[in-house]
Structure 1
C-alpha cells in the first residue's frame, strides 16, 4: 500500500455518519501499522441550483463550517483512540467529497471511505466509491464490518483475488504485505476461467482431474516467488469452481481484509471493475482494498530495501 513516497498519508473521508467513523478507526490502525500520518477530510457541498455556494448567505457558510468541524472533531477522537501516537491532520473543503478525495489520492498512500455509500444509503460520500475505484492512483479501501460490536482490528485471514492480470499481480503483493503486517494467514482465491468453469459445472461437483490441475498450476505461477519475500506468511491456495464474485464473497466471510486489483482479466480490463470490484464493494462483509497498477511493485521494492537495511 505504497504511493507518493514514504511520508504519504492515509486519507479518510469523514461525513458525520457511523460508517465514516468506522472507516476512520480502520484508517487510524492502518496508519499506525505503516507508520504514516492520517489525514481526515470533510467536504461540504452546498446544494444550490446555481453552483457551489452561489446565492447563499454568509451565515449558511458559518453553519456548514461548524458542522464540518464537529464531524472532524468526532473523527479525530476516534482516530486518537485507535491510532495511538499517529500524527493526525484535518482538512475542511468546500466542494464535493468525490473531487476532494480524488485530488488528494494523487499524494496518498491509501484513500479510505465508509462502506454505506456504495449501497446508496445516504450520507455525503454518495458517489465517492465509484469515482475513486475507477480513477484513484493509490489503493482505495471501502470499510465495513458485520456489526457494531466488532473491532476495527479485525480477525481471520487476508483474502486476495488472483486472476492473472497485471493489477491482480499488484494486489497479490499488497495482500502478502498486509498479511505480514497483521500476522495473519493469506487465502489466495483463483476463479476458473470461463472456458474451464463450464467444464467444472458440467461435472456436477465431481473430481476435476486435469482441468483442476491446470488451474492449480496457474495459481501457483501467480504466487511464484512470493514465499521468498514473505516467508512468515502462511498461504492457502483455493481454486474456485464458480465466478470471482461469489468465490471471493464466500471466503471473505471470516476474513479481516479482502484485496483485489482495480481491473480484471486483460481482455476485459475496465469492465470487470464495474462487475466484480463494485459487487464486492456493495456486499463484502469485511473491508475491501482495491489496488491499482504498480502499487504492489512499489510495496515489494520498499520491503526489499527494508530487508537490506536490517540484514
Structure 2
C-alpha cells in the first residue's frame, strides 16, 4: 500500500475507466465546496487460484503498480481540472476494490464510485456498489450522466426522496446541505400510497382530498425546521401517487443530484439494500447520493452558529 498521507474527506474509487474519471470530477468539485480533502484510491486484485497475489511473478506486481499509478495520475489531473480541493491524495492497494473502499469509508465523509449508463429496471447493479450501499457508515455517491464530458453536470435542482422513515430525515438534511452548497433549488418528493396516479403540488389550485392533505402534512413535517438553517434554499414540495422509483426518476432527469435514504418506508431493513434506492442505483440519470441509516448529519448552519457562540 502506498499513499500520500492525506486524511480522507471524500474517497473515490479509481479503476482507469471513463466512469471513474467522471466520478472523480464530481467528487473533486464536491470536496472543494465542502472544504474537504480528496483521496483517490485504486485497488488492484490479481486473480489467482491461491488467493490475492499468491504465486504471481514479481514483475507482474511491477506492471500492476505501473498501471495503477498511471490511473491515479490521470485521476489527479481530472480532479485538478475540475477545481478540486488543495489536498488531493492518492493510494494504490493490492486487494479487492469493495473491501478496500469499505475500509476507507469507515472514516470518510462520502465514498464515490462511477456508474455506467442508466439501465433498465431489470439491469444489474455493479458489485462494488452492491457491496458498499447499506454496508458502510457514510453516504455513497454513484456518479453517472450521459453528457460526453469529464466535467460534472451543473445547473438543475437537487431532488430528495422523502418518506416517514428516520433515514428519510437524514437524507433531507444532506439534501438541504447540498442544495445550499450548490446554490440550487430543492425538490422534495413524497410518494404516497394509492392506486390513482398523478401529481399533487403544494401550490395546486382547488381543494385537495383528505388523503392528499394528509400526505402533504407528512411532507411538511419532514421538512420542518430546515428553513431556519437554510433560508436561502428555494423548496418545491411534491406529493405524488406514482411509485417512488418512477416519481424520483422523473424529477432526476433535469436534476444535478438525487438524494435518497438506503432504507425506509416499504424497503428492506438490516444489511439488505432497500428496493427503491437499489432500483435508482441502477437507473438514475444523474449522480445519486445514498444516505445510510444512522448517518445523523447535522445542518451546516448549526455548526457555524455553535462556533460563533463558543469561539474558535
> TM-score band (shorter)?
0.7 to 0.9
- 1:159-202 CA distance string (max 9 Å, x none): 00001100110000000000000010000000013xxx12x359
How far residue 274 of structure 1 moved from its aligned partner, in angstroms, is 4.1
Aligned to 2:139: 139
Structure 2 CA distance for aligned equivalents of residues 45 and 152 of structure 1: 29
Please tell me whether the aligned partners of residues 25 and 150 of structure 2 are also in contact (alpha carbons under 8 angstroms).
no
Q: Give the superposed CA RMSD.
A: 2.4
Q: For 2:169, what is the secondary structure of its paired residue?
A: helix
Structure 1 CA distance for aligned equivalents of residues 262 and 275 of structure 2: 11
Please tell me whether the aligned partners of residues 10 and 39 of structure 1 are also in contact (alpha carbons under 8 angstroms).
yes
Return 5+ residue gaps in structure 2 as ranges. Answer: 1-6, 199-205
Aligned to 1:130: 130
Does the C-alpha gap of structure 1 residues 100 and 271 become closer, same or farther in structure 2, counting only changes over 3 Å? closer
How far residue 61 of structure 1 moved from its aligned partner, in angstroms, is 0.6
Aligned to 2:28: 28
Structure 2 CA distance for aligned equivalents of residues 184 and 151 of structure 1: 18
How far residue 208 of structure 1 moved from its aligned partner, in angstroms, is 5.6
Structure 2 CA distance for aligned equivalents of residues 62 and 150 of structure 1: 29
Residue-pair matches, total = 292
Please tell me whether the aligned partners of residues 137 and 294 of structure 2 are also in contact (alpha carbons under 8 angstroms).
no
- TM-score normalised per structure 2: 0.87
Aligned to 1:282: 282
- 1:53-74 CA distance string (max 9 Å, x none): 1111001111111110110000
The equivalences for 1:150-161 within 5 A come to 151-161=151-161
Aligned to 2:298: 299
- 1:204-225 CA distance string (max 9 Å, x none): xx98611111111111111111
How far residue 310 of structure 1 moved from its aligned partner, in angstroms, is 5.0
- 1:111-137 CA distance string (max 9 Å, x none): 0000129969xxxx9411001102010
Structure 1 CA distance for aligned equivalents of residues 272 and 91 of structure 2: 33
Structure 1 CA distance for aligned equivalents of residues 115 and 267 of structure 2: 29
Return 5+ residue gaps in structure 1 as ranges. Answer: 1-6
Relative to its length, the structure with more helix (as a share) is 1
Q: For 2:148, what is the secondary structure of its paired residue?
A: coil
Aligned to 2:185: 185
- TM-score normalised per structure 1: 0.87
1:172 counterpart = 2:148: no
Please tell me whether the aligned partners of residues 263 and 269 of structure 1 are also in contact (alpha carbons under 8 angstroms).
yes
